[in-house]
């Protein structure tokens, strides 16, 4: 934020009144680029709440200490601070935001129009992007996984339950272990809903049943999974959700740690019909090399003629010098039957 250019990082202790509670808690308060973070007071304390700086309101009169703040006009949550440095920093941010707002009657109409246009441009183009980037950056892995599972629940209402057999589930777990060396995440096969493949926050990869039933080589399925992992790397699935949902959803995520259910419902419907973004070929080839998966079967599944996927075909044996089986034959047969008859 412009108002914090003279500070590297500001921290102080304060008293936090969580929403719905009557007992105040001592917390460590720190100011980041676009958020006020409330954390436990112990040395390795984790974050308890994130408040969006542009949305913070001062409850007590200006200049009075201790100062009391809330994260928004309708919030019952409060924060009490008696450290004049951090209170002054928050006040500077509030004044900086206030100065950007147009003030009718103080300028001639022509100048006012230009100022209003600039303020609108700032609100429409800069602030939403900044808040989205900040939200994507600070949301912890566990929250990403929760959002991904909630979104998956909405998709299930549209597509039906995921394909699941005992042996098929075991084969999917082995495929995930083979392709996700860092651990975590899921690979889910759906009988309908998703056109080919898709990715959700929390490293969840969705596959249409045709990918396991219509191909003879498990390297094809592995290729689609690797392509979704690369697509998620190039365009963060959480950022994609927030850009689709708008500014208020980012603010709600920063202040509450949740995305509203109606937003997830609408996004689930649009996600299943949205066209897939292209992935960068060299980066995808590197993923195949790291996973030791041949890229030619996937390339030919995309284009049987090979004309549009020639770099992927030529990478085998050159940029991907070593490969190993994606799945054992028994696991591949089980995976092909994961959706049953």
- Alpha-carbon distances, residue 161 vs 97, 259, 321 (angstroms): 47, 23, 39
| Co-location of 175 and 133 in the same domain | no
| Co-location of 201 and 300 in the same domain | yes
pLDDT of 295 higher than 90: yes
pLDDT tens readout for residues 93-151 = 777 766 665 555 554 444 444 444 433 444 444 456 778 888 888 888 889 899 999 99
pLDDT > 90 in the chain, percent: 46
Q: What residues have CB less than 8 Å from 210, skipping those under 6 apart? A: 196
Report yes or no on 318 lying in a domain.
Answer: yes
Closest to 255 measured CA to CA, from 9, 76, 21, 60 = 76
Domain that holds residue 275: 141-336
Q: Please state the domain count of the chain.
A: 3
| Co-location of 126 and 45 in the same domain | no
CA 119 from chain centre, in angstroms, equals: 28
CA atoms within 13 A on the CB side of 98: 9
| Co-location of 282 and 238 in the same domain | yes
What mean pLDDT is predicted for residues 48-71?
A: 86
Report yes or no on 341 lying in a domain.
Answer: no
Rounded distance, CA 38 to CA 56, Å? 13
pLDDT tens readout for residues 314-334 = 999 889 999 999 999 999 999
Report yes or no on 240 lying in a domain.
Answer: yes
| Co-location of 246 and 331 in the same domain | yes
Report yes or no on 71 lying in a domain.
Answer: yes
Stated pTM of the model: 0.63
| Co-location of 210 and 330 in the same domain | yes
Instruction: CATH number of the domain at 71, please.
Output: 2.30.29.30
């Amino acid at each position: 934020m412009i108002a914090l250019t003279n500070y590297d990082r500001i921290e102080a202790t304060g008293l936090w009144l969580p929403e719905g509670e009557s007992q105040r808690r001592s917390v460590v308060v720190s100011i980041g680029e676009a958020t006020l973070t409330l954390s436990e007071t112990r040395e390795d304390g984790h974050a308890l709440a994130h408040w969006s700086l542009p949305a913070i309101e001062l409850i007590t009169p200006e200049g009075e200490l201790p100062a009391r703040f809330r994260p928004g006009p309708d919030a019952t949550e409060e924060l009490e601070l008696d450290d004049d440095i951090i209170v002054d920093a928050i006040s500077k941010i509030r004044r900086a935001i206030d100065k950007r707002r147009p003030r009718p009657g103080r300028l001639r109409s022509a100048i006012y129009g230009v100022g209003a246009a600039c303020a609108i441009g700032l609100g429409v183009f800069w602030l939403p992007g900044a808040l989205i980037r900040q939200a994507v950056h600070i949301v912890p892995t566990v929250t990403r996984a929760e959002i991904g599972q909630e979104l998956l629940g909405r998709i299930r209402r549209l597509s039906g339950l995921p394909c699941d057999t005992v042996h098929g589930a075991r084969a999917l777990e082995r495929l995930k272990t083979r392709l996700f060396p860092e651990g975590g995440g899921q690979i889910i096969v759906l009988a309908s809903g998703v056109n080919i493949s898709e990715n959700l926050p929390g490293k969840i990869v969705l596959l249409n049943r045709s990918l396991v039933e219509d191909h003879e080589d498990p390297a094809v399925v592995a290729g689609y999974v690797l392509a979704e992992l690369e697509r998620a790397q190039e365009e963060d699935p959480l950022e994609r959700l927030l850009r689709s949902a708008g500014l208020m959803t980012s603010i709600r995520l920063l202040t509450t740690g949740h995305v509203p259910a109606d937003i997830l419902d609408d996004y689930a419907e649009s996600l299943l019909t949205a066209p897939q973004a292209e992935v960068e070929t060299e980066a995808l080839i590197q993923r195949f090399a790291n996973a030791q998966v041949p890229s030619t079967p996937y390339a030919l599944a995309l284009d049987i003629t090979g004309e549009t996927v020639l770099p992927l075909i030529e990478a085998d044996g050159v940029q991907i010098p070593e490969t190993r089986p994606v799945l054992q034959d028994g696991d591949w047969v089980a995976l092909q039957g994961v959706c049953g008859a």
